[in-house]
Amino acid sequence: MKNSQVLKVLLFCAAVMCEALPGIANGQVELSGTFVSATATYTCDSGYILEGGSRRRCQNNGKWTGTEPSCRSKPLWCCICNQTFTNFAVHFYSCRL
């Protein structure tokens, strides 16, 4: 084309990021990053169990998948016996968990 102008179009790519996730009570969250496809892995301290998913992923819309899990204390198992202790005898019982 005669006397044409070349129009340069610059495309700007902005990296999509998810917000950093807060820690959870009685546990940890380990982030592989905060960009798209990054993962968050949740674990609980000893004596606690995770309720909810253990992994979340940063999506294209800047939101994490799923919901934040929580750590709750493991139940304590107790054995109850129906015997009377006499003469200071020692009795041993075991529980099936």
Residue 7, domain member (yes or no):
no
Task: Output the average pLDDT for the chain.
Answer: 80
Residue 81, domain member (yes or no):
yes
Residue 86, domain member (yes or no):
yes
Other C-beta atoms closer than 10 Å to the C-beta of 94 total 6
Residue 27, class by beta-carbon neighbours within 10 Å (0-12 exposed, 13-18 middle, 19+ buried)?
middle
Q: What is the per-residue pLDDT for 15? A: 81
pLDDT at 28 over 60: yes
Residue 88, domain member (yes or no):
yes
- CATH code for position 93: 2.10.70.10
Q: What is the count of structural domains for the chain?
A: 1
pLDDT at 36 over 80: yes
Which pTM does this prediction carry? 0.65
Of the candidates 78, 57, 80, the residue with the CA atom closest to the CA atom of residue 67: 57
Domain range for 69 is 14-97
pLDDT at 89 over 60: no
Average pLDDT for 37-48: 96
